[in-house]
Chain A
Amino acid sequence: SQTIHQWPATLVQPVGSPLSLECTVEGTSNPNLYWYRQAAGRGLQLLFYSVGIGQISSEVPQNLSASRPQDRQFILSSKKLLLSDSGFYLCAWDRGQRELFFGEGSRLTVL
């Protein structure tokens, strides 16, 4: 069966520090991968999606970047965090079946 993991689960970082969130999918190949950000109790904002290794599409210009160094690995990064980067970050995958499967989420607090 397919599984998706992301880490770390919780992160507290000072303004101006770097960020790296990692997501890994197991049990499938060539998935579409997504990064979303969610404000408390609200909908999900699509940040990046990838249809293959090295292929990244950005939905919202911002302080973040994404990379896909391997087929089932998706990384969200920032060189210098802003206060507005705080939120709940979710990684997800699909294989064109119109169903998104989400990881456990990473809660980032920027102080």
Chain B
Amino acid sequence: TQLLEQSPQFLSIQEGENLTVYCNSSSVFSSLQWYRQEPGEGPVLLVTVVTGGEVKKLKRLTFQFGDARKDSSLHITAAQPGDTGLYLCAGATGNQFYFGTGTSLTVIP
């Protein structure tokens, strides 16, 4: 079992603020995904990063894959209440996907 640690575990911020969520592991992954999950639902894919050092942008969200493909970060600019949810990173190796410990984000209007 691969271990991915996310930090922070909980984050409560005001609308308009910026934030960064980190996903760290001692294992190397062939790719890394970020998902967002609403209560009582399954996670939904936000992005997949494959190449070490890769940066992807999705509107106000910026994702980066570490050079060594062991870690990743998610940066949100000008957070909005609609960004509220549980953010999960997942590392892929072989046919397995291992999920991080999760970051619960609350954006206060």
Contact = CB atoms under 8 A, between A and B. Distances in A.
Q: Say whether A associates with B.
A: yes
Interface of A: 32, 34, 36, 41-46, 49, 51, 57, 59-60, 90, 92, 94, 98-105, 107
B49 to A, nearest CB: 10
A44 B90 CA distance: 9
A59 B96 contact: yes
Contacts of A104: 41-42
Interface stretch (B11-19, B54-62, B68-76, B99-107): B99-107
B38 to A, nearest CB: 11
**Nearest 3 CB-CB pairings of A with B:** A102-B42, A44-B99, A43-B99
A75 B97 CA distance: 19
B103 to A, nearest CB: 10
Contacts of B104: 41
Contacts of A41: 86, 102, 104
B interface: dominant SS = strand
Given A44-B43, A102-B42, A51 B99 contact: no
Interface of B: 1, 4, 6, 30-31, 33, 35, 40-45, 48, 50, 86, 88, 90, 92, 95-102, 104
Given A41-B102, A99-B48, A105 B42 contact: yes
Nearest to B40: A105
A98 B42 contact: no
B99 A98 contact: no
Contact of A60 (B1, B33, B41, B100): B1
Given A100-B43, A104-B42, A107-B40, 4 more contacts: A46-B99, A98-B92, A99-B48, A105-B42
Contact of B95 (A32, A60, A102): A32
B88 A43 contact: yes
